Structure 1
């Protein structure tokens, strides 16, 4: 059956013709799953390299029966048949692809290629020069709750990384209000295995991951400069964090346990009140009551972020726990949220589903 028969008609007239570059990965599949219920979107093109020529149902059987276009190589696309692009290609390959797109196409890039505003810093962390420096100047960083105006006006939006999203949403308001010290922030983060992508890797085999728990990228993870870039803007001065990611034997989900030192006279209740006030009107960010710590299962398969705050036993210390679904708020859901803003649609359209439980 055709996707239009499932989606029905929209009151806004013709639908946005969307192309997903890199649709054979986990984030590509999540984009398809969520966009199938978006009333203003028609999925018009799906690309893959190794899987090109196959129907989407062969690559992802759970997406069969929706009349989706077959996977093709990027070179086969006819850009004049598209209005919007989601780019879910691997890091390092995206810059030249996006720079070569027609200027009328709006883009949300889910890779890390445009997240760092300083091309010199990009070269340090990614090991090669930035290949689209002129375009980088026009890119908006897509942490939607903090850059709606920039996202609304941009042609290209850099979707934040999953770890930065989970860490920045609780930290930015507290730095802006000078309630925590910029120095000494510790982010102890954990992600489900889907965060490592769908490529066959020995480290991601079931027997390598199951019944285990390991840190990776210790002391030098590529999300560090992205986190520090946004914290620096909030604090008005350089901020260096201690950030360590861990791989947890679960399919999806992300938790950041963040240790901060509060300013003189500030309590954990004050931090919670600041976060609750900042996000009172935000549809996707919530703050748990005192004594309640969120879990990854509370946001599974949703675009939600839940934040809890607990007083630490150390003087002026507080512990913040932030959870998201790494594939949704940490990637595809936030990308659609940004598309909605860029295209003048209701921000929650197509991504307002409740979390899945159990």
Structure 2
């Protein structure tokens, strides 16, 4: 339901970004331009997409980033919300055309001014156009079981990282959106599962913030610290071991080490066991970086500098994530009260050392880990 509402908002409101700007109304010399009237005869939706659907499913999938059946399903779900009444002034855009315009914009990153000519839809009309966490212990444990099965790292619920999505600087925003990489952006902070799906995301951050700052002020972190997340599994032993260990997320050096957040050893002169631990953790955590790559490669609007209003940029990112999850689910992808920080960090170090020992023991080692450390 949340997916339908979000995509409907984007389809119906992909002009509000320009419509929000106050303009003086001017008399229209032409209500509908003749070349726009011939949309059905020559526009991409009624011509090319019909040809691709009938003749080349693979090309249709590449064009829309999904096969015809999934496109039809999404249009069917959104039609009640996207349907507009016909007036004496003009024929409304069909729900299918709205969805197609939205998906193509997300997939290509093409600007509205460029799309208007091939789709034969005015650019100011084009521009108008949640993930769910588990709630049971069995649901959380299933995520952890998949991490261990696919990436050989136990008790992992998800991997967390941040991605900057470039956008134009909002008026009078100063350096609020300017990031350390040298451009303006909003931040997508995501937690992904072992199969590259997003199980949680936050797009509220502005470019000047850090991943850790956004995470530290999130409901997810508060829920982990306070034990409020529904169904979060109780500690139990690592595979083939006897000592109870909490379940956790995997992060990089930007995050604080806690029992619910494992990160690599950062000191120099690491022991061999610590190097092996770092390799095993980084191998698993790399999934979140790959998920960002898959997301941006499919929806290449995320690779551009978006000129939308920042709230629409956040909306676009959410829509891309939800579409990404739908396609991953359908197997269409090839590949704030907090405990005292000193105590929490100490417990995290103790837990990391325990997992390190397990990774280097007969119970948790894998045959190739020594070779990978010797010859990375």
TM surpasses 0.5:
no
Structure number with bigger Rg? 2
- Structure that is richer in strand per residue: 1
- Structure that is richer in helix per residue: 2
Using structure 1 for the length normalisation, give the TM-score.
0.31
Using structure 2 for the length normalisation, give the TM-score.
0.30
Work out which structure has the larger RCO, using CA pairs closer than 8 Å and 6 or more positions apart in sequence: 2
